[in-house]
Amino acid sequence: FTFGFRNIPINQFVSIEDVIVGDESGWYTESRSEAPGTYYVDRDSGEYVIYWFYPPTRDATRVFTVEYTVTGGLIINEEVGDRFFWKAVGPDHDFPIESSTVIVHMPPGATVDTSIEPAFFGVDATYTISDDLTTVTFQAFNIPADQEFEGGVRFPHGFVPNVKPPWQEAYEREQAWNETWRPILNLLGFGLGLLLLVGGLMGVYFLWLFAGRDPRVGSVPEYLTEPPSDLPPGLAGTLVDEKADTQDIIATLLDLARRGAIVMEEREGEVFGLSSLASRGFVFHREKDFAGPLRSYEKLLLSKMFGRRDQVGLDDLRNKFYRHIPVLQKALYEEAVKEGLFPASPKAVRGRYLGLGIAGLVLSMGVGFCAAAGFADRVQTILCPFTSLAVISLALIVVSRVMPTKTRKGAEEAAKWRAFKTYLRNAERYTDLEQATDLFDRYLPYAVAFGLERAWVKKFSRIPTTPVPRWYIPVGMPYHPYHRRVSSGGGPGGGLAPDLRDQRVRPAPSLDGMSDRMFGGLESVSSGLFTMLNSTTRAMTSVPRSSSSGGFSGGGFSGGGFSGGGGGGGGGAGFG
């Protein structure tokens, strides 16, 4: 270390004069040479800065003395007495201070006004008054970094010249304002903040109550053993959770397979040129002669998936198909609105309220920051209203997720589909599954849409007579396109698709039989089915590394689905 400094902001005094600096060896010489044993004083940017220089010092204790005379630093008041405040330690120090002692001597002939106690501000401190009432000693210990220490005393008027310093008039106006208006404005700030908080949160609640809550519907059975309408799985899933998820797209894919539009084939992979089930591959075939009705989002899915090709592999979809996910989700929402289930797209509704909440949060924080920067020293509760607005905005962000509302038809349909979901979850309690193995294939797309596919497959994998879906071709079975299909009944564009029949019916071996011939265990078949579902989901949602900042989350199937004082002085000090 070779120099020290002490900066004193020009605040409630006129000037600093007669500065001298010294150490144990004697007083320094005033000079700007910065040679050891010199000092100088700068006045710049509203403060005095005293610099002093000494021989290089390391691992030593040094004592420096800085003396100066402050002019115009007293508050002159004929009515209550004259006062003196001084910040011995300012807030600008990035190191702790073990102790600080301030000794205040009264003017000749004056004594401390004991009708009011000496005051200290900043850190906790103690004071003692001499027996003759002419000296007050303040002491503070263990002052943390960036904390200030200020002491103040009052003595009778008339012992110093009766000349008010030029800054006192403004100071007294400030004090009068603080005593009169600050409590009122603080109360107003707190009251306004409380009023905004209570009123705003109630407003958000009533907003949901009148604009976001679904219409009331009549009683619905606890469970329904059949789909309540011909709504396709993708739309049913979108209706129940008000979100067009990746699982709804996969459910739509399975529904199209059930209806004969596509066939899913599992193929052996190769490891070092040898066949391996551990590296399965999957190929999707589009049936050329399928002539069944399709909804707009189903046509879009087939178009984005196949283009003009008759078959695609998962490698054809990987890192490419993700671009179409938002378009397909939008199409699902539009179809749900067209079906009369929602008055508007749930995603658009969520986005609208989410945007309002984010805008309110940013605005309240920005304006609150500016208000605090300009008025926090006058009104301590200035941030209360803006904090309340920020909390209201956060509440709006949270409630935006439940703001989409259904039409009366949509609410009734959703209640019934939830009852059907209950049946799918607990089908073995209501139905003898060994006598109804055809339900596996028929309701699998709905199980996927509701996130129940793992439990659904597990229920039927224990039953040896459960047939493998005709649209799923495991390893070892050749793919043969259907030449002609005849369908009976069923709604347009999906939903309750009938059992599809072919002039040349493809054999449908049971899961158990297939496992005996090819896989060595029943679990291998369901494992292959899950692998196909998982691989398809990953391929459809995979994003190239260069574009992976966005991406999609579709979940997986193998783990269960998608699912004071104001005196002068202060400043800082230090060494370098």
Q: Distance between CA 191 and CA 198 in Å, rounded? A: 11
Strand 472-473, strand 262-271: pairing: parallel
Tens digit of each residue's pLDDT (9 = 90 or more) over 240-296: 999 999 999 999 999 999 999 999 998 876 544 454 455 568 999 999 889 899 999
pLDDT class of 526 with cuts at 50, 70, 90: confident
Mean pLDDT of 175-201: 94
Q: Distance between CA 31 and CA 34 in Å, rounded? A: 7
Q: Distance between CA 452 and CA 561 in Å, rounded? A: 6
Tens digit of each residue's pLDDT (9 = 90 or more) over 309-363: 999 999 999 999 999 999 999 999 999 999 999 999 999 999 999 999 999 999 9
| Residue 428 CA, distance from chain mean position | 42
pLDDT at 490: 42
Mean pLDDT of the chain: 86
Q: Which residue has the higher pLDDT, 571 or 119?
A: 119
Q: Distance between CA 534 and CA 538 in Å, rounded? A: 6
Enter the pTM of the model: 0.71
Mean pLDDT of 185-208: 97
pLDDT at 240: 97
Mean pLDDT of 533-556: 71
Contacts of 174 (CB under 8 A, 6+ apart): none
Instruction: Give residue 362's identity as a one-letter amino acid code.
Output: V
Q: Distance between CA 165 and CA 575 in Å, rounded? A: 33
Question: Do the Cβ atoms of 419 and 223 come closer than 8 Å?
Answer: yes
Strand 82-89, strand 568-569: pairing: parallel
Tens digit of each residue's pLDDT (9 = 90 or more) over 201-246: 999 999 999 999 999 999 999 999 999 999 999 999 999 999 999 9
Question: Do the Cβ atoms of 152 and 118 come closer than 8 Å?
Answer: yes
